[in-house]
Structure 1
Amino acid sequence: MKKFVRRYLSVNVLPIWMILAMDVVMIGLSLLLAYALRYDFSSRVLDSATMWRTMGLTMVVSLVFFKMFRTYSSVLRLSSFVDIARIFVALFVSYTAMALACMVAPLVTDIRLAPVNVILMAFIINFALMASSRVIVKMMFETIKAGGSSQTNIFIYGAKEAGVNIAKSLRVSMRERYRLRGFIADEPDLYDKLIMGVRVFPNDENLFDILAQKGVKTIIVSPAKRNELKKEENLDRFLKHNIKLLTAPPLSEWNQRGLESGDIKEIQIEDLLQRDPIQIDIRKVASHLEGKRVMITGAAGSIGSEIMRQVATFNPYKLILVDQAETPLHDIRLELMDKWRNLDAETIVADIANQTRMEAIFEEFRPQYIFHAAAYKHVPMMEDNVSESIQTNVAGTRILADLAVKYKAEKFVMISTDKAVNPTNVMGCSKRICEIYVQSLAKKLQKEGGHVTQFITTRFGNVLGSNGSVIPRFKEQIRRGGPVTVTHPDIIRYFMTIPEACRLVLEAGSMGNGGEIYIFDMGKPVKIVDLAKRMISLSGRTDVKIEFTGLRHGEKLYEELLNVKELTKPTYHEKIMIATVREYDYDEVKDRIQHLIDVSYSYDQMKIVAAMKDLVPEFISKNSCFEALDKKEE
């Protein structure tokens, strides 16, 4: 009984029997009106047995095809073009059958039915009544809902396919949350047009007066318009007027039901990075990784984990994922189980500076392709923990590089940093020493011939959203209400998203022959204070202040991707260049690095940094106690 009541007498949707009753009544009204039109509204129509006989038979036939095409099964307030089309087909088949019956019946029986022209008129009237009933119910429901105080008035930026599809999804699945008041377009041919009953407005200075008039403080940006929003002047116009910006995923990522409430999200600063999309040669990358045993160190970190995700799509024979951080590596294992259950992957907790442990891993798995992303990376932390930067970054890299040669790996791709150029801090210098060792080893192997492991180094700047980076920190500070802390009003950095940085790493790895240091086109540098201001504006908050805290130990105002003495050579990829750097003799480098590692175990920070400066003369400390060593040299 409860099931019957819930299905047929629910107050949330019109019961099926009531929809059927309405449709049957409309069949009768259609035939009555068709007869009246055919016979000039004569009163004799109601006394016609032929009419009543035709009406009864039409109702029976129509009910059969209504059942077949399920015209009554949809919720009226959610009616769509598909529902209207279904009604048209059901009525067309029903009235075609009736028209044939009207022509055949007099020939084989004494029964007379209505003329065919009455059936044709009835079909047209019936379809108009049933279609309009759905439209009227839908419009009434939307009008009633539009009066709800909980709705957010919105404009959609983008009036073409993507924008219109967003609008349709809002009306179907998010009508209680959003109320569409208009579209914004950059195309003059769309200005002042009506789409889904609302007007298209030009993206000009008058737009904000219109938004104010309509009570709109939120705009959903179509995926197709995200590049337009990246233009600095365009974005700043919206932020200046305190407009909240939301976005939707590209159409290719929608599920079959369209957008859902959780798909509409606040636009992120990463979405507005002022860069052109980076494309890579997928086939070439795939040819290097498919069917290979691939090792990734630092696999639980921001860069390592993204490299893992991208490599997983190229069908490697085996993944060997190494990291000393247990919990993040466990998260990677769970992600592999969820998304790549059939992929053969080993998640190994290990310290790259532990030579015995790393030797055992190489002996067991014999990786053919190595992405070395493991490193200590935080500048202030390494400034206070010099010995660890040497023992992990330098000694760990040397151990991995030597094992790659011993176990005949094909390629070794090392992730470096722009902080290795003219280093001003311990972390940057440690990575420069790694570059020196790897490059000198590559040149030595090339001279000796035989099997040669190809050593590739990639340098790039900051990645947006990486663990411990400025973006997550600013987000948390904004969430707490501020202040947002910036070290210096003039500090600038190069930024790249994690996925595009990793795509370029894969591309560079596939193109290298050994010994190259690749640098990436990082685009224009970004002022950190401007980044903070934009993030505050995007959050919609006006009460968050910015506070300057002063440069941290070893920090400089700007990063460089190349030493001033270095030149670059182009590659076939416009975003990747080769840095021509000073080359070191391997035998000399090997002894000096061993000396540096030995000194690191003294834990005498001044002594360790002095040895680093001896190996890398361009290492000039800034905002650090190690500046005293530079003054002594002067």
Structure 2
Amino acid sequence: MKKLYNAFRSLYGGDNVMKITELRYIPRWIVLFLDIFIGLVSITISYYLIDKLHVKVNFPQYIYYKIVFILFINAIFMFVYKTYAGIIRHSTFFDFFKILLCSGSTLLTMLLLNLSFKIIFGKPLYLYPSLFLYFFISIFIMFFFRMMIKQVFNILIDYKGSASKTRVAVVGVSDASVSIARAILHNPNYPYRLEGFLTKRSDSHKALLLGHKIYNIDKFFKDKNLISDFDAILIIKEIMAKQELEEWMTFALDNGLKVLNAPTLSKMRESDLVGGIRNLQIEDLLNRKPIKIENIEVQKRHFEKTVLVTGGAGSIGSEIVRQVAQFKPSVIVVVDQAESPLYELELDLLEKFPEQIFKFVLADISNNYRLEALFEKYQFSMVYHAAAYKHVPLIEENPHEAIFVNVLGTKNIALLSKKYKVNRFVMVSTDKAVNPTNVMGASKRTAELFVQSLQGSEGNVTKFITTRFGNVLGSNGSVIPHFKKQIEKGGPVTITHPDIIRYFMTIPEACELVLEAGTMGSGGEIYVFDMGDPVKILDLARRMIKLSGFTPDEDIKIKFIGLRPGEKLYEELLSDNTTTVPTHHQKIMISKDPCIRFEEIDVLCKQIIKSAVKRDKLQVVRLLKEIVPEFISNNSEFEVLDKKNIEISES
């Protein structure tokens, strides 16, 4: 009542739009009163029409009692069917159906009463035409009243704060698009205003949808005056093919419109749809259709088993932990040397998986004694080795640290897995290990060689498996978060080279591959998979700038800073002298890389670890080049070693 009072008070005071739209709904008793009043108007109209036809009514002396009686019967059925209970501005066909039932029940009751009167008194109480007129007129007015109120509210809501709202055109006329549009109309507190619909169809330009025009895309983007009436287009990424998404984005950004992405009904309740609208992210464009792996073996390998994940607080490691937790292992041991990220992961996992047993261990994988205590205590069934140093420029400056973590750490985990007869050991590697041009890639290739060599070593029962990935979207320190920060600061966006390209994949997709790899093969394999088309980093930067609402090279500058030490223009997933073997999954292949015998790689690893302890950078890299002959340094101080090798081979 207080809100109703405030609304009418605002009407009198002049501030009518704001206060009326704040009124959640008209009190139910007022709706009931209005419906009874509509009934009174309807019976009055019906009697008026009968009178104009010069038809005499039965029992004219009781006409007022007859009117009250029919309204009383109608009111009873209003209570029975609760026609007053719905919120008028959200009226649907269901509300109309209840009105139809109510009026129909009233008509049927009055017809039976009429029949009884005719039997008893020789003539009916009401004229039959007046009853049918009342039936049709009352239904029409009640429904019209609700539709009118609904439309008035929509107009007022649309008008409220319209100057500050983002004017959007919803792409498509599908059920999902209409649901989004309806949610915008019914949520006045959100910063969007529906202005129309966009479609590629040419047969809908004369139609209206939710009271708004449907525009053909070709005509829309040719009319600059029309475009100026809009601020953004709103798409639903999940129901679009990648090519279609690219087309809409290009149309919008080239015409100065923002691109908004909305969730589908299946992803979010209708009441939360508008709250889920956000600016289209570059990740949405790079996300190809994910590789979904459904393998019952994955569940069998983890259910009620003990699992170790190294590097568990990192981007890949933490997602592996989350995915493994869904299969209800007996315990998951998460190892990482980064204290704060490990603690944050602990809080997150304990909240999301309260029934799962986790053990969070702060440890350095180069400390073999610390690791062996874990293997002895938990007797792991599965080991996922994701711990690694990955940043190319930092590792190029500190090659000995790459040896401690990427080589020695991997050696420790792998040998302990063999010693304690772990069922499967899965190592996460990188495409930078293929024809490496930097220390990081060469150290990961060395780790791959060591892990592969253990497969055929004496007394081994563990299956050693390696998986190679490209860049993962949104991982710590990756290019996309870096570009976002630069754009937020106003630029410039820094790119090492205008022609540099990279492959991208999502973190969940990468981890699904890791889990799948853990169930495949007989051990010793290196798994790679189809990562789609590479992405030019310059194009990536330009799109990110446009999606942020800026113009590249004008609002946000792009600056080329040159290749970093060890960086190459493109990454590879397979080395030149390898072949691939298909697996049961069309997107996953096995790389047949050359191997080294365990005795040989073990000696080389011991030598390079000793050099790392001495902090002898040149000797460390020299040994890396001996272990990985295809390692040719690029834009690095270690190029001198390649020149010496060339001179020696020529002499």
Structure 2 length normalisation: TM-score?
Answer: 0.90
2:18 maps to which residue?
A: none
1:113 positional shift: 3.5
1:386 maps onto 2:394 in alignment: no
Aligned partner (choices 350, 374, 377) of residue 364 of structure 1: 377
User: For residues 322 and 78 of structure 2, what CA distance do their matches in structure 1 show?
Assistant: 50
Contact in 2 for aligned 1:508/1:576 (Cα 8 Å): no
Residue 69 of structure 1 and its aligned partner are, at CA, apart by 3.7
C-alpha deviation, 1:251, in angstroms? 2.4
Structure 1 position 149 matched with structure 2 position 163:
yes
Select which of 160, 169, 179 maps to 1:165. Answer: 179
Question: 1:471-528, CA deviations, whole angstroms, 9 ceiling, x for partnerless residues?
Answer: 0111111111111111111111111111222222222222232110011111111110
Q: CA deviation at 1:203?
A: 3.1
> What is aligned with 2:607?
595
Match of 1:566 among 578, 585, 588: 578
Residues 1:617 and 2:617 aligned together: no
Instruction: Tell me if 1:322 matches 2:322.
Output: no
For residues 524 and 140 of structure 2, what CA distance do their matches in structure 1 show?
A: 75
SS of the aligned residue for 1:510 comes to coil
2:198 is aligned with 1:184: yes
* Cα distance per residue 1:102-130 (max 9 Å; x no partner): 43455578996424553333222212111
Whole-Å Cα distance in 2 between the matches of residues 155 and 461 of structure 1? 37
Shift of 1:59: 2.7
Equivalent residue in structure 1 for 2:527, among 506, 518, 534 = 518
Moved more, 267-276 or 54-63: 54-63
Q: Which of residues 331, 341, 345 is equivalent to 2:354?
A: 341
Q: How far apart are residue 155 of structure 1 and its match?
A: 0.8
Amino acid at match of 2:213: R
Aligned residue for 1:251, secondary structure, equals coil
Work out whether 1:441 is the aligned partner of 2:441: no
Q: Are residues 224 and 93 of structure 1, via their aligned partners in 2, closer, same or farther at CA, if it must alter by over 3 Å?
A: farther
Shift of 1:358: 1.1
| Inter-partner Cα distance in structure 2 for 1:47 and 1:208 | 70
- Match of 1:485, SS state, is strand
Contact 1:145 1:176 in 2 (8 A): no
Q: Is 1:297 the counterpart of 2:310 in the alignment?
A: yes
Q: Map residues 10-49 of structure 1 onto 2, 5 A cutoff.
A: 12=23, 13-40=25-52, 42=54, 48-49=60-61
Aligned mate of 1:355, from 368, 372, 384: 368
Please say if residues 51 and 114 of structure 1, whose CA atoms lie closer than 8 Å, have aligned partners that are also in contact: no
Deviation at 1:236, TM superposition (A): 2.4
Q: Aligned pair in 2 of structure 1 residues 228, 401: CA closer, same or farther (>3 Å)?
A: closer
Q: Are the aligned partners of 1:486 and 1:549 in contact in 2 as well (CA < 8 Å)?
A: yes
Q: 1:146 to 1:211 in 2, by over 3 A?
A: farther
Superposed, which structure 2 residues align to 1:415-494 within 5 Å? 415-444=428-457, 448=459, 452-494=461-503
Q: Which residue of 1 aligns with 2:11?
A: none
**Which residue number in structure 1 is paired with residue 389 of structure 2?**
376
Counterpart Cα distance in 2 of 1:187 and 1:572? 41
User: Which of 285, 291, 309 is the equivalent residue of 1:272?
Assistant: 285
Check if 1:506 corresponds to 2:515.
yes
Give the match's secondary structure for 2:505: strand
Name the CA shift for 1:83/1:10 in 2 (closer, same or farther; >3 Å). Answer: farther
Q: Partners of 2:244 and 2:346 in 1: how far apart? A: 36
Contact kept, 8 Å, 1:166 with 1:259, in 2: the verdict is no
Identity %: 43
Map 1:95-174; keep pairs closer than 5 Å.
95-104=107-116, 107=119, 113-147=125-159, 148-174=162-188
Q: How far did residue 594 of structure 1 move?
A: 1.4
Equivalent position SS for 1:547 = strand
Distance 1:68 1:378, change over 3 A: farther
- State the match for 1:203 in structure 2: 217
Indicate yes or no: 2:118 matched with 1:71. Answer: no
5+ residue gaps, structure 2, are 9-22, 647-651
Taking only aligned residues, the RMSD between alpha carbons, in angstroms, comes to 2.6
AA partner of residue 164 (structure 2)? S
1:235 corresponds in structure 2 to 249
* Partner SS state of residue 234, structure 2: strand
SS in 2 for 1:258: helix
Letter in 2 for 1:387: H
Deviates more, 1:513-522 or 1:147-156: 147-156
Letter of the 2:500 counterpart = I
- The answer to which of 78-87 and 355-364 deviates more is 78-87
Change (3 A) 1:145 1:164: same
| 2:265–2:273 CA contact under 8 A, matched in 1 | no
Mean CA deviation greater in 8-17 or 26-35: 8-17
Question: Retained in 2: the 8 A contact 1:208–1:241?
Answer: no
Given the superposition, is the C-alpha separation of residues 403 and 96 from structure 1 closer, same or farther in structure 2, using an over 3 Å criterion? Answer: farther
- Distance in 1 (alpha carbons) for counterparts of 2:578 and 2:613: 33
In 2: Cα distance, 1:121 partner to 1:43 partner: 14
- Within the candidate set 258, 261, 264, 1:247 is matched to 261
The CA distance in 2 between the partners of 1:338 and 1:92, in whole Å, is: 55
Shift of 1:248: 1.3
Equivalence for 2:72: 60
- Structure 1 residues 274 and 340, CA gap change in structure 2 (3 angstroms): closer
Q: Describe the shift of the 1:353–1:129 C-alpha distance in structure 2 as closer, same or farther (beyond 3 A).
A: same
> C-alpha distance in 2, partners of 1:245/1:92?
49
The answer on whether the counterparts of 1:491 and 1:527 sit within 8 Å (CA) in structure 2 is yes
Residues 104 and 476 of structure 1: CA distance in aligned 2, closer, same or farther (over 3 Å): farther
Alpha-carbon displacement from aligned partner over 1:583-610 (angstroms, at most 9, x marks no partner): 1101111111111112110012112111
Contact 2:220–2:227 (8 Å) recurs in 1: no
1:219 maps to a residue whose letter is I
| Partner Cα separation in structure 2 for residue 241 and residue 225 of structure 1 | 23
Q: What SS does the aligned partner of 1:294 have? A: strand
Do the aligned residues in 2 keep the contact of 1:483 with 1:547 (CA within 8 Å)?
A: yes
Query: What is the alpha-carbon distance in structure 1 between the residues aligned to residue 237 and residue 62 of structure 2?
Result: 60
**Alignment gaps of 5+ in structure 1:** none
- Separation in structure 2 between the aligned mates of residue 282 and residue 95 of structure 1, nearest angstrom: 62
Deviations 1:562-620, CA, capped at 9 Å, x for gaps? 11111111112111111001011011111111111121100121121111111111111
User: What is the letter of the counterpart of residue 350 of structure 1?
Assistant: A
Partners in 2 of 1:407 and 1:54 — Cα distance? Answer: 94
Say whether 1:538 aligns with 2:556.
Answer: no
Q: Deviations over 1:314-364 (max 9, x none)?
A: 232322222222222222222223222112222222222221111111222
- Give a deviation string over 1:207-261, Cα, whole Å, max 9, x none: 3527735611201102354325566455323222222111112321112x43344
Which one of the candidate residues 188, 204, 212 is aligned to 2:226? 212
8 Å Cα contact 1:58/1:95 also seen in 2:
no
Letter in 1 for 2:448: E
**Contact 2:365/2:409 (8 A) holds in 1:** yes
Amino acid in structure 2 at the alignment position of 1:285: V
Q: How far 1:437 sits from its partner (Å)?
A: 0.6
Contact 1:158-1:185 at 8 Å conserved across structures = yes
Which residue type is aligned with residue 368 of structure 1?
A: S
Indicate conservation of the 8 Å contact 1:230/1:273, yes or no: no
How many angstroms apart in 2 are the aligned matches of 1:230 and 1:438?
43
Contact 1:378–1:427 at 8 Å: present in 2 too?
Answer: yes
Q: Report how far residue 293 of structure 1 moved.
A: 1.9
* C-alpha distance in 1 between matches for 2:431 and 2:129: 82
Number of residue pairs matched by the alignment: 626
Distance 2:105 2:315 in 1: 61
Q: Aligned in 2, Cα 1:603/1:416: closer, same or farther, shift over 3 Å?
A: same
Alpha-carbon distance in 2 for matches of 1:545, 1:212: 30
Aligned-partner Cα distance in 2 for 1:428–1:301: 18
